[in-house]
Amino acid sequence: MAWYTADVTYTTDRDKLAAVRPAHRDYLRGLAEQGIVVAAGPWADDLGGFVVYQVEDRDQLDAIIAEDPYTTEGVAAKRDVREWDIRMGKWAGQ
């Protein structure tokens, strides 16, 4: 299993963000129930958010991100994805 983080910058269209947010949260909630999303939430300034994923590989992650309502509806203006090599804490070694 591999760990990835996604740092997302939202569109400046606040109405679109508000309209799509419930579907996005439902989508991530389903992934969290499967153990794929282990942490997620908006930044305190609500200009973006951060997600931690545990997946088989980058191909699986790309498929998951492609189906995210923030992707399909154009809410994610930018997304920086990085593989994360966790060395300490409760997720290390999982």
* 71-93 tens-digit pLDDT: 999 999 999 999 999 999 988 87
What's the whole-model pTM score? 0.93
In the predicted structure, residue 21 carries a pLDDT above the cut 90: yes
> Which domains does the chain show, CATH number per domain?
2-84 (3.30.70.1060)
DSSP for 54-81? Answer: EES-HHHHHHHHHHSHHHHTT-EEEEEE
In the predicted structure, residue 94 carries a pLDDT above the cut 80: no
In whole angstroms, what is the distance from residue 44 CA to residue 23 CA? Answer: 20
- Give tens-digit pLDDT for 52-76: 999 999 999 999 999 999 999 999 9
